[in-house]
Structure 1
């Protein structure tokens, strides 16, 4: 059946897969004897219960013999427990016969592949491996090299690989052992063993910065032979220095690629920039990015997104935009978060606003519906740069195509239009808010009132004020202040005083600023110190304080009037 074929293929791949250098060669030894041969003798049986005999698997025939020899101590002899033997053999045969996995072991191709995979350790004496391992984990005061010289070991690349992957060995001992083996045996001098060393040291929980620098010094020495090192080894070193937050060392590894006859790949650039990011070395990271752009060898979209985010954090939005353009040219899919960060950064400066606007035009449709805040930032930037019409175009695009704008986004544009005196467009946007079923807030009304007041159109400002009162039960102090200031500017003081009274009637107490503005206008322009004095009395009753300069102004106007009267009487006489 098809599932049997697939299971057979999967098992075959597991059993004959060549282990990566970063994994232990012992994996091969551990995985091959997953299904042991049928038990040849009762010595394989270790009864726990008479009804439930269990199997014990051994890694060598010698181990099997040793247990067989000791079986007599457990009361098990050859020829006894024949019933258990038959039961076990029958169980083995049923399992093999019922499952077509037996074909795998009968397949000559499999046997040949398995034999080829294990030939890497066939000549390794495991006792010698354990002997070397015991020296690496030992605590003798003699130097490691001296102790290694004292033991009788037949060195090989396979033995070195097994030893390097010994757990719980301090990195310094691994490095020293490798140096000793490198000097002593030519077969050790290969990319594979160097890669295993770097991986073993990098993965150690006891790794120190000194160990890392010692490893790097060793790799530099090895790199004098340009045929040994490769990109994978150097990438591992860059990653190591990044984890240790030693970005300068990581950058040194990056700059040595050509000296070692290696070529950086997308991961190289990504790891180097990440290492520099641990110390926020934005200016140092950009030249690495430039080399990456020149090579056009980029990492995947997720890592490109991280680099763009990193550059934006360092206020290099323009440079990040170049990286975005390259990724887009290669049709790479970037995370929406990095696009948002890029637009946000570009919209903070007037010189890059157009880039942000173009980026919004290229936003993937699936990102647009959740990009309200990002669109709002670009609109705010356009308003800040005094481009209200461009901001209005983008706002209308949001209205028609999404993401739907809120009242705050409308207010940005209405404010910019009002400050520019484009009141017709400002009012039309306020009406559009109503058409969309939203209620213009007090800020919206106040901004439009301010625009009309600045232009001297107080009747229009007052109409907006009346509409605001109908829609909102209580207005802000700013709304009244706009009217008072506008009427004072137009020297319509009665209307200004009327606004003060309405303000108090509506439960909003005028503050010192409103009174001061009106008193100064009455004194300087209307020379009406009497009304100003009444307002001063109101302030006292309300517990407000008028600055001495304004108070003195009332007295000065009053004295001027009295002097004018005296002169007039004198002239008549």
Structure 2
């Protein structure tokens, strides 16, 4: 290591190709951090480019009621594409109309506080595992109605939940941090003999994502009680959960404690490597790399790409390029992911000539480009307002049999919405549907937010309606955006109704502009609306909702006092 202050210049040893040979890459710095999505600035310019192209390629200017047109959509996107959506898919066939019917009953009756279960009993629902999984998937962001439906279905005489249904419900509870119910369900599965390895993985990941390390380890140790053998794969899952939750130090500590019990493999070290990179601890990441080599393991392409990404994120491009060249000469040979990592960084730095150089080199090396690497270049050139080049790349993608994927469309929509061009985002959305790609909830949230920001409220509501038609269950962010739009338009009563609905579903209270919310009611002659709502909810037995409104009321009261402090009387002499 070099010099004074903590230096991250470590001796990174490469396991060379010769027998027992170790190659030193002395200037390598092991700081790797998983590269994030292309920055928002990219959006700014690319949009201008795409807009023109999109207007040529797609003339559909409507969301639900916007006129259709003929244009071909130009596909530009963030390098990393859209936000992944974790839909639980079921391979069994299920009638979508039946899923829609059951889901509508749950949504309507749960919201109106009527006896949902009694109505479901009268609906003559033909329960199947596929139907239950589909309904849970649709309602996965709202744990309370999902859980009530799950309990109702489990009590039906001609139906019994299987492991998949239990795991799906556990995943919903885990992601909404209903840990007590999740653990009770795990124990119930144990009594019924329905536990699978996936059950433990779901629970471990849920606790790890919440940064509950001790509880995650507790689930791991619980496997023995149910005669499940905890092997290196499960241990790796535990470490991966901690690493993803930015608990790299805790993952390393656990690894040191249990490595004799679970002898590590290359994947184990790669997980630790990524974990240290996530918390930007380049020094510890370097130690893990060197331990890989010391143990006689040869870092594979995954480990090399992780290091390459980390060096670039650590602003050590020269070292990253040296590592990249070492990969070409010593192996493992760079793959399309390796080139994408490097090209993306160059595009972000507006070094497009170098980026194109590496792209050409990739083609010459026989690596087939994918949508992600093309998107990097599109974003980079878009950022430089080189619209002709962008259009040429989009055309080339289609000609080379590498059409835009769903991530590309989502990224393009993001570019449009960030530039406050929701109508153009709607065009891309329509083209996305035509091409057979399913939008994610993130897609709808982006468009809805953009319409509300542009004060096109009717179109924002149309997006909300479209979500319902497509069977997309609104998440916390969807509600927050929609309620914020209602408040902005001066429709506080409707906003209040959806706040209540949101909290009743078990979601967190939205972060909103409550000043505007209260001001609107004040103008309507209801200055104490939050206190009134708190009392109303309390008398209805909805204590959780009541507490939320009461808390907001107190916050507003304090703000008023701060703005208008009581003036102390002047002393008279």
For the superposition of Structure 1 and Structure 2, which TM-score range results when normalised by the shorter chain? Answer: 0.3 to 0.5
Greater RCO, CA 8 A, separation 6+: 2
Higher helix share: 1
TM-score normalised per structure 1? 0.36
Larger of the two Rg values belongs to structure: 1
